[in-house]
Amino acid sequence: MTPTRETFGNIPQSSQWAFYILAVVSTGVFAYGVWRRYQLWRQGQPVGWRELGITALRNMPTLLRRRPRPAAPAAAEIDAPPTLTHLSNQMELKAAIGPGVKRVLVDGLGQQRVKGRGAAGRAHIALFAGFMLLLLGTTLLELDHIAGWISKNLQFHHGTYYVVYEFVLDIAGLFFLLGCGYFLWRRTRRPASVGHRGSDWFVLGTFIAIGVTGYVIEALRIVWQQPHGIAAQCSPVGLWLSQAFAGLGEPGARQWHLAAWWAHALLIFGFFAAIPFTRLFHFIAGPLNLFLSRPAMGQLQPVTMEEVERTGRVGVNDIRQFTFQQLLSLDACMECGRCEDACPAFATGKPLSPKRVVQDLKHLMQDTLGAGPTAAAPRALHGETIAAETLWACTTCSACVDICPVRIDQLRLILDLRRHLANEGGLSGTAATTLRRMQSAANPWGLPASERAAWRPVATPPPAPAAAAEPASSR
Amino acid sequence: MDIPAAPTVRENPNFELLYWIGCAGSYDRRAQRVARAMVRLLNAAGVNFAILGSEEKCTGDSARRLGDEFLFQELATANIATLAKYGVRKIVAHCPHCLNALLRDYPAFGGHYEVVHHTQLLADLLASGRLKLASPAPGAATASVTYHDPCYLARVNRIHAAPREVLQAALNGTGAGPLREMARREERTSCCGAGGGRMWMEEPPAQRVSTQRAREALGTGAGTVAVGCPFCLTQMTDGVAANGSEARVLDVAEILAERLPANPASGSPAVATANAAGPAVASA
């Protein structure tokens, strides 16, 4: 007999109906939660989906075409250092869907940016990989079940496929539980840079209960089904756990199996409905932000005069002036604290934490919804929400941007806010003096342009340049 | 006509590479020494270059990052017009902030250039054999060196191999040993505290990023702290002093220039010899 197991085996028809009804309810709550957050992001400036699509289509040919090999340099150009052309090719910016999808696949599915925080990074990868495999497994199971409605011949959940499937999912559950266990332990340690919410305990508790009930269901099935050989061994954890329930006998095992199955199902529906209302929302906002953000370290968005004439402002002084994507990125933040750990301003006791900025903006975004597009926000963005000293503390070193696993651009948020301050004359002291000098003399020291080359060593004997007034190197 | 060791675009109109000096290199007494070291190296390698001289303006990096977008755009537009006037395509800069502005900020305003950091150019010149170093003076042991990656170079523009290659070439044979690395380096480097216009702001001594970063550099036991940015040069010099250390803080180019063959009139005849050595160098 080929190894297999019946989907919804031991589950009465009435329970199956109740299961599907609850699935719809859970999905409905989930969709309502996502819609609520989407309303928050919609307060921002439109993202230009149409434009995004058109750019993508226009760039399709170049995306599909392979990058041409650079031609051998002409003899006259040999002098040029080889890095020159190579470097500028790298810097080409392609606005298209392709890079967004790539970021979702590499940064999201590939977990490339989660690495590098010791055990926490590895635990996240274990939890994530386990979760995704279990999700995929459940989806395949449901597909097989639906296929069975059409024709029994379409079902694929048996034989070698079944053995591999059961084994992979059995191991995936271990990775999932290991990851959850680590994060539960870390919550008790409360590392300073990691944000803490009460709902975190609920989320992790639910996750662990889902994993454990999953194994219990499997163990109880093994008790009454009594599979032999490879059909049993392909579920090593379930088989091991089934020893604990061996004394129940078939009727007892079936009874408890149904109970555990319901507990497992209810936990999953609860968890799914809770996604948009807890930290788990990063399942949605994280990948969305990876897709929509246009990472461009060292680059800033220009402000045009037309824009200033249209909006009557420079920079951002109301949360609704950020873009849809910028507001969405606030929801992608997990408060993992990597940005705060990397921030030189925070490390030296200045009033700036990139994480704090993101969270403060997020709270303002939440509180502003309902005020209407023109009504005043409940709190002022400048001063009340983000203090000027916080904004001026940033050295624009990009450490936070570079380290964020979901590619939040904290620097651009800060710069948009700085632009407004600077335009309103909010900068005083030595920095303001510097800007005035740059305005009048095109250098921060306010020295004459004629002295710009006074440092030069001379090739020919006299005339030596007149000893220029050398500015002190102090600020 | 003799041309100066660092000719302007007017003095050497057939230049191949523009050397962007930047405001610090032009006016800051300490950073001027970096520009002079770089000129000696360029001439020793026979590179046909020019500078903008009085026509160069601040790139506007600090202005833009302080939030003064329109001052930045004014400066950028003026610089782009000047660069177009002289048909500049290739630029070398010793300031990562100038490099980033030219490379990342200017394209949005119509300025497209091939920009390299001076350490990248030097690494290439060393690798291709165009820049030849003298064997170190006997007994002149160099102190061990650590390198502080500037954030606008290493993190923002991912340039961290070239400065290390140059430093290693400069250290070979001097008995300084391999480069001493800090825990936070390359893309994960720490800021020196002067970016984003912070260079021009007062900072209470207890809150200085430079003091903390210099402590990390000195923690490697190195006697010389190498940098690749004029802002870092100032900051690390202050930071080393704040830590009560006597370690030297030098730009990568200065360290390499110390290894140039002795030259009686340092810097001057290099242009003439280079003309003889390399056909690619235009004669003025």
Mean pLDDT of all residues in chain A?
87
CB B278 to CB A298 under 8 A?
no
Of A423, A442, A455, the CB nearest to B58: A442
The CA-atom distances, in angstroms, between A420 and each of A211, A362, A423, A466, B284 are: 50, 19, 5, 43, 49
Q: Which chain A residue has its CA at the smallest distance from B123's CA?
A: A81
What is the DSSP annotation of B201-254?
S---GGG-HHHHHHHHHHTTT-SEEEESSHHHHHHHHHHHHHTT---EEEEHHH
Does residue B268 form part of some domain?
no
The CA-atom distances, in angstroms, between A74 and each of A70, A86, B32, B280 are: 11, 15, 35, 12
**Which residues are bridge partners to B91 per DSSP?**
B18, B115
Does residue B216 form part of some domain?
yes
User: A409 to chain B: which residues are within 8 Å by CB?
Assistant: none
What is the DSSP annotation of A341-370?
HH-HHHHTT-S--HHHHHHHHHHHHHHHTT
SS3 B138: coil
Does residue B59 form part of some domain?
yes
Predicted pLDDT at A387? 97
Q: What CA–CA distance (Å, rounded) separates A232 from A211?
A: 19
Q: Are residues B22 and B106 in the same domain?
A: yes
User: A349 to chain B: which residues are within 8 Å by CB?
Assistant: 206-207
Q: Are residues B105 and B160 in the same domain?
A: no
Q: Are residues B156 and B108 in the same domain?
A: no
Q: What CA–CA distance (Å, rounded) separates A211 from A78?
A: 63
Residues A337-383: tens digit of each pLDDT: 999 999 999 999 999 999 999 999 999 999 998 777 778 889 999 99
CA nearest neighbour of B76 among B94, B58, B62 = B58
The CA-atom distances, in angstroms, between A452 and each of A442, B8, B49, B52 are: 11, 11, 17, 9
Cα of A295 to nearest chain B Cα, Å: 11
CA dihedral of residues A421, A423, A425, A428 (deg, nearest 10): 70
Q: Are residues B113 and B145 in the same domain?
A: no
Q: Does A299 touch chain B (CB under 8 A)?
A: yes
CB B200 to CB A475 under 8 A?
yes
**Residue B177's domain spans which residues?**
137-258
User: B266 to chain A: which residues are within 8 Å by CB?
Assistant: 457
Q: Are residues B141 and B252 in the same domain?
A: yes
User: A297 to chain B: which residues are within 8 Å by CB?
Assistant: 155-156
**B117: part of which helix (H) or strand (E)?**
strand B114-117
Predicted pLDDT at A475? 45
Q: Are residues B119 and B161 in the same domain?
A: no
Residues B208-250: tens digit of each pLDDT: 999 999 999 999 999 999 999 999 999 999 999 999 999 999 9
Q: Are residues B115 and B151 in the same domain?
A: no
Strands B224-227 and B248-251: parallel
Structure-block tokens of residue B214: 């210099």
Is the confidence at residue A196, as pLDDT, over 60? Answer: yes
Is the confidence at residue A414, as pLDDT, over 70? Answer: yes
Domains and their CATH numbers in chain A: 13-46+111-289 (1.20.950.20), 296-442 (1.10.1060)
Residue A359's Cβ-side half-sphere holds a number of Cα atoms within 13 Å equal to: 17
**Which residues are bridge partners to B250 per DSSP?**
B226
Q: Are residues B30 and B117 in the same domain?
A: yes
pLDDT-derived band at A422 (thresholds 50, 70, 90) equals very high
Is the confidence at residue A78, as pLDDT, over 80? Answer: no
**Which residues are bridge partners to B18 per DSSP?**
B50, B91
CB B2 to CB A460 under 8 A?
yes
Q: What is the interface pTM, i.e. ipTM, of the complex?
A: 0.90
Cα of B235 to nearest chain A Cα, Å: 10
Q: What CA–CA distance (Å, rounded) separates A352 from B191?
A: 15
Cβ-contact B89, B136 below 8 angstroms? no
Structural domains in chain B (count):
2
User: A470 to chain B: which residues are within 8 Å by CB?
Assistant: 27, 29, 32
Residues A29-76: tens digit of each pLDDT: 999 999 999 999 999 988 666 666 666 666 555 555 554 444 443 333
Strands B90-93 and B114-117: parallel
Cβ-contact A446, A342 below 8 angstroms? no
Does residue B266 form part of some domain?
no
Cβ-contact A167, A234 below 8 angstroms? yes
Q: Are residues B240 and B198 in the same domain?
A: yes
Structure-block tokens of residue A458: 């001379």
* Domain boundary residue, one of B125, B157, B184: B125
Cβ-contact A6, A246 below 8 angstroms? no
Backbone dihedral region for residue B50 (phi beyond 0: left; psi -120 to 50: alpha; all else: beta): beta
Cβ atoms within 10 Å of A170's Cβ, excluding its own = 20
* Domain boundary residue, one of B125, B153, B180: B125
Q: Which residue has the higher pLDDT, B78 or B5?
A: B78
